[in-house]
A and B are shown apart, each in its own frame.
Chain A
Amino acid sequence: NAGVMQNPRHLVRRRGQEARLRCSPMKGHSHVYWYRQLPEEGLKFMVYLQKENIIDESGMPKERFSAEFPKEGPSILRIQQVVRGDSAAYFCASSYDPNSPLHFGNGTRLTVT
């Protein structure tokens, strides 16, 4: 009974490169959420997706960031032209329905050099 799977666990990118973060939700979950966490800080909501649909992207910067959850395959959070300020832990979570508790993955720790 695999939980939420995120990869890679650690990702190092130089300024200006692209970062792709992957998330496979728990089996049976069709709701996916991405959160960002800076060191010693809380979790900031970025985006909420269902299969093939973005439900709420109000927490995601309008430029350079995009997210998708295709019919087949994992959800992808894409950051183009990364800057040092993008360095953070990015957590994906999934749920059975919008009001169920979230199950988090282990996160991807992005470091921009």
Chain B
Amino acid sequence: GQQVMQIPQYQHVQEGEDFTTYCNSSTTLSNIQWYKQRPGGHPVFLIQLVKSGEVKKQKRLTFQFGEAKKNSSLHITATQTTDVGTYFCASTTDSWGKLQFGAGTQVVVTP
């Protein structure tokens, strides 16, 4: 079954606003990865978090790994139209690294 649950499924954001998408698991995760897929495109790797409580930033994107390593969040500030797409979190289930993806958060930005 699916290892990670993502909420919300859809996110409508006004340009310039901030939003957060969440990734939750019932089990402890060894790591969490985030990918972005533009409409009609392919998933592109954004970041990997490994340590408990880890926070990483990429310009307007802030990624966080929970202290218990059971959840993660992606926060985007001052949303732009280029942020449109679906954001997936993914985590490994086995020691060899098979990635299981969440269902994704589809982000729509209105100007």
Q: Which residues of A contact B (CB under 8 A)?
A: 33, 35, 40-45, 48, 55-56, 91, 93, 95, 97-107
Beyond A93-B43, A101-B45, 5 additional contacts (C-beta under 8 Å) are A48-B96, A56-B98, A97-B97, A105-B42, A106-B42
**B33 within 8 A of partner (CB):** yes
Q: A42-B88, A43-B88, A101-B33 are in contact. Are A91 and B98 (CB under 8 A)?
A: no
Residue numbers in A under 8 Å from B45 (CB-CB): 101-103
> Could you tell me the distance between the alpha carbons of A87 and B107 in the complex, rounded to whole angstroms?
25
Q: List 29 A-B contacts (CB under 8 A).
A: A40-B106, A41-B103, A42-B88, A42-B101, A42-B103, A42-B104, A43-B88, A44-B101, A45-B98, A45-B101, A48-B98, A56-B96, A56-B98, A91-B43, A93-B43, A95-B97, A99-B92, A99-B96, A100-B97, A101-B33, A101-B45, A102-B35, A102-B43, A102-B45, A103-B45, A104-B42, A104-B44, A106-B41, A106-B42
Contact of B48 among A91, A93, A97, A101 (CB under 8 A): A101
Q: Which residues of B contact A (CB under 8 A)?
A: 31, 33, 35, 41-45, 48, 88, 90, 92, 94, 96-104, 106
